[in-house]
């Protein structure tokens, strides 16, 4: 059974940085696709970055140049480094896992496992 536990959220001023972490248990890193999604209050969930088993990364337009997804297999942890944060980045951020790598990393309907999320608030 896959379990995902996020941490690292908090409040930061515009231009600041945060690093989110997701401890993943029950995953096989060689075959599973991972991603971070976010959901602003009252809006739809959107894919932020995704990570294939071979290390290929994908970024949504809002994350390009500012966010970096990475993993540490030894620690069973997925990370999201977020720099130059903006108020529009305010959202609840979710760690996700797709054992079947459905092909569209940003399709929330294809995700099998979700963490409970961690809240990021960016003030201007």
Summarised one tens digit per residue, pLDDT across range 8-66 is 999 999 999 999 999 999 999 999 999 999 999 999 999 999 999 999 999 999 999 99
Residue whose C-alpha is closest to residue 22's, from 90, 93, 98, 120: 93
Residue whose C-alpha is closest to residue 27's, from 45, 53, 6: 53
Summarised one tens digit per residue, pLDDT across range 65-111 is 999 999 999 999 999 999 999 999 999 999 999 998 987 899 999 89
Quote the DSSP letter at residue 89: G
pLDDT at 82: 98
Q: Is 85 exposed, middle or buried (0-12, 13-18, 19+ CB in 10 A)?
A: buried
pLDDT at 64: 95
pLDDT at 103: 75
């Amino acid at each position: 059974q896959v379990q995902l536990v996020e941490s690292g959220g908090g409040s930061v001023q515009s231009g600041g940085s945060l690093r989110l972490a997701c401890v993943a248990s029950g995953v096989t890193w060689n075959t599973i696709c991972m991603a971070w999604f976010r959901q602003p209050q009252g809006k739809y969930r959107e894919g932020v970055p995704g990570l294939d088993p071979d290390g290929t990364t994908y970024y949504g337009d809002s994350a390009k140049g500012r966010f970096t997804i990475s993993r540490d297999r030894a620690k069973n942890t997925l990370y999201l480094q977020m720099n130059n944060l903006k108020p529009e980045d305010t959202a609840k951020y979710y760690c996700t896992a797709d054992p079947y790598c459905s092909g569209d990393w940003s399709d929330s309907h294809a995700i099998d496992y979700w963490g409970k999320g961690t809240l990021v608030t960016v003030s201007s």
